[in-house]
Structure 1
Amino acid sequence: MKVARFYAPGDLRIEDVPEPSPQADEVKIRVRNCSTCGTDVKIFNHGHQHLDPPRVMGHEIAGEVVEVGADVAGGWKAGDRVQVIAAVPCGECADCTAGRLTICPNQTSVGYQYDGGFAEYLIVPHAVLKVDGLNRIPEGVSFAEASVAEPLACAINGQELARVGEGDDVIVMGAGPIGCMHVHLARARGARRVFLADINAGRLKQSADAVQPDAAICGADVDMVEEVLRLTDGRGVDVVITAAASGKAQEDGVRMAARQGRISLFGGLPKTAPTITLDSNLVHYRELTVVGVNGSSPAHNKQALELIASGKVPVKDLITHRMTLDQVPEAIATVAAGEAIKVTIEP
């Protein structure tokens, strides 16, 4: 079978390898879609501390079951349409048993410690099955849409922690695919208005055309904080979601938050520049809440599939490019250039 395998930064090879067979406690699937994201770009350029090369990349996976190990429970059978979680909690530590699966200190990941979905076939490891991380795709949801459930699950986690809800004014800073999902999701959670901001005018227009925010704010043209205050009659927004790897976005987010506002530091910062200047007095006197977010749980993945199936969070409009396994390097370059909202690979 054909795979896209990472060996070192800048060294991603399309190879022919033997087709894998599942162990008794594993499931084998035929990958139908594996979508790409900014993390794939980071891995391609810099590697990752938890990725053991050589490794088949790809973690936004949907496909169909072709073989089930003899010891696998759950009633799985050939032909079942499935989505696979990416972040795999251990299910046994103190955090997991307390229900805090997103911060499991023993977390492993598909595409990092286990071969990922840039392949024709994938073995779903026992670690995924043990935490109920293989999900049936609802009727009416395509493989491509199901592959986007994993990043949507991360957005769900972020908005739960930031308590996005009825009547909120929300700004999403960063108009990439995850930012677009945040716009749709905030609306589904009852937000009154949702603004989308970016410093890249072309990317902002493409994404705004797709998700139709209440206002699109280009940081290259206006001061984002001043524009948010203008749009909210000086009050600020209830929720700021920084869906970009930008320290300035985080600093500005605190300044544009309304009293008792919530700031979600959704996008992590580069290791070379992990710190920001936080105006602590704004947090103190305005009673602001600043929250982090890390990935998603298996339950978030199930919720994401349900939201897609219901039409409350449409994702089909976000899939702008479809490519083959041979085109994985091109797909990663397209994501890096900001020329797409969502690129999906169809092996």
Structure 2
Amino acid sequence: MRVARFYAPGDLRLQDVPEPTPTAAEVKIRVRNCSTCGTDVKIFNHGHQNLSPPRVIGHEIAGEVVEVGSEVEGWAAGDRVQVIAAVPCGICYECSRGRMTVCPDQTSVGYQYDGGFAEYLIVPEAVLRVDGLNRIPDGVSFAEASVAEPLACVINGQMLAGVGTGDVVVVVGAGPIGCLHVRLARARGARQVFLADLNRGRLDMSAAVVRPDAAICGSEVDIADEVLKLTDGRGADVVITAAASGAAQQDALQMTARGGRISFFGGLPKTAPTITLDSNLVHYRELAIVGANGSSPADNRDALDLIASGGVPVLDLITHRLPLSQVSEAIRIVAAGEGIKVTIEP
């Protein structure tokens, strides 16, 4: 079978390798779609501390069961499935409290286990143990199901930030995650949703699809000032920084209404993880700042349900479909911001 295997920064090799065979406690799937994201770009450029090369990468996976281990129950050849990316241990203190996204013993598909840029994938026992193999609902395509993983992360972030009915929400970052945030905020009852980005081309491309109530280009106007104008000086109830930008995190405080919430959704580069934060704004305005780290198995199931119901459409976010042989081109497109969602079809 063909795989895309990461060896070192800048070294992603297409290789022919033997098809894997599942153990008694594993499931083998034929990968139909594995979508790409900014994390794949980071891995390609810099590697990752939790990834030991060589490793098949790709973690937004949907496919079809082709073989089931003798000890596995509930699955059969032909089942259409989506695979979680972040794999909690399921037994630690945090997992027992329902906080699987902050499991200290978390592993990940495409990091500790081979990922989805391949024709076939072994779903490890660790995934099955936490109910992380999900049945794709009828009417949902493999391509749409591959977007369930990033949507699951967005669901976790908005739950933690308490996005709800009547809120004014600002999403900073007009990439695929930002687009999903816009649509989920609407599905959760937000009254207005604004989308902001520094890149005019990327902002216009995304805004044309998800149609926010306002699209704000940060290279042309001050985002915080524009949000205050749009809200008659009050600011937003929720600001979500869906970009790896310390400046965006700092600016978020300037555009958040009293009693509002800020989600630091996008992590910062390891080389620049700190910001200067005016804690008096947090204190006197009674602001809440929350982080967001990945998703739980339950978030993935909720994401599939939202896609199936039409609550959060994702098909029109997929701008590029490429074969496995063009995975490096897919990563380039993502890095350049030339598409919204780029999916690989092995």
Q: TM-score range by the shorter chain?
A: over 0.9
Superposed, 1:240-319 pairs within 5 Å as 240-319=239-318
**Paired residue for 1:50?**
50
Alpha-carbon deviation of 1:80?
0.2
Distance 1:276 1:236 in 2: 21
Q: What amino acid sits opposite 1:70 in the alignment? A: S
Aligned residues: 346
Are residues 1:15 and 2:15 paired?
yes
Distance 2:194 2:4 in 1: 37
Are residues 1:138 and 2:137 paired?
yes
Alpha-carbon deviation of 1:60?
0.1
Q: What amino acid sits opposite 1:241 in the alignment? A: I
Alpha-carbon deviation of 1:212?
0.2
Superposed, 1:87-236 pairs within 5 Å as 87-236=86-235
Distance 1:63 1:120 in 2: 10
Distance 1:254 1:318 in 2: 30
Alpha-carbon deviation of 1:52?
1.0
Alpha-carbon deviation of 1:85?
0.0
Alpha-carbon deviation of 1:305?
0.1
Distance 1:265 1:293 in 2: 7
Distance 1:307 1:337 in 2: 29
Distance 1:138 1:334 in 2: 29
Distance 1:225 1:99 in 2: 35
Distance 1:270 1:95 in 2: 26
SS class of match (1:267): coil
Distance 1:156 1:253 in 2: 20
SS class of match (1:217): strand
Distance 2:55 2:138 in 1: 32
Distance 1:92 1:83 in 2: 23
**Paired residue for 1:24?**
24
Per-residue CA distance 1:288-339 (angstroms, 9 max, x = gap): 0000010000000000000000000000111000001000001001100010
**Paired residue for 1:322?**
321
Gaps of 5+ in 2: none
Alpha-carbon deviation of 1:153?
0.2
Q: What amino acid sits opposite 1:289 in the alignment? A: A
Distance 2:324 2:176 in 1: 21
Gaps of 5+ in 1: none
Q: What amino acid sits opposite 1:64 in the alignment? A: E
Distance 1:181 1:19 in 2: 35
Distance 2:279 2:102 in 1: 26
Question: Identity of paired residues, percent?
Answer: 79
Q: What amino acid sits opposite 2:307 in the alignment? A: I
SS class of match (1:299): helix
Per-residue CA distance 1:132-181 (angstroms, 9 max, x = gap): 00000000000000000000000000000000000000000000000000
Distance 2:207 2:96 in 1: 41
Distance 1:306 1:300 in 2: 10
Distance 1:171 1:182 in 2: 9
Q: What amino acid sits opposite 1:56 in the alignment? A: V
Distance 1:253 1:307 in 2: 28
Alpha-carbon deviation of 1:81?
0.2
Are residues 1:3 and 2:6 paired?
no
Distance 2:69 2:60 in 1: 23
Alpha-carbon deviation of 1:98?
1.2
Distance 2:291 2:234 in 1: 24
Alpha-carbon deviation of 1:89?
0.2
Q: What amino acid sits opposite 2:243 in the alignment? A: A
Distance 1:16 1:204 in 2: 39
Per-residue CA distance 1:31-79 (angstroms, 9 max, x = gap): 0000000000000000000001000000000000000000012x20000
Q: What amino acid sits opposite 1:258 in the alignment? A: A
Distance 2:91 2:261 in 1: 31
Are residues 1:72 and 2:67 paired?
no
After superposition, the CA RMSD in angstroms is: 0.4
TM-score (norm 1): 0.99
Q: What amino acid sits opposite 2:58 in the alignment? A: G
Distance 2:48 2:249 in 1: 24
Are residues 1:339 and 2:338 paired?
yes
Q: What amino acid sits opposite 2:332 in the alignment? A: A
Q: What amino acid sits opposite 2:198 in the alignment? A: I
Per-residue CA distance 1:233-274 (angstroms, 9 max, x = gap): 000000000000000100110110000000000000001111
Per-residue CA distance 1:69-116 (angstroms, 9 max, x = gap): 00012x200000000000000001111111110000000000000000
Distance 2:324 2:109 in 1: 18
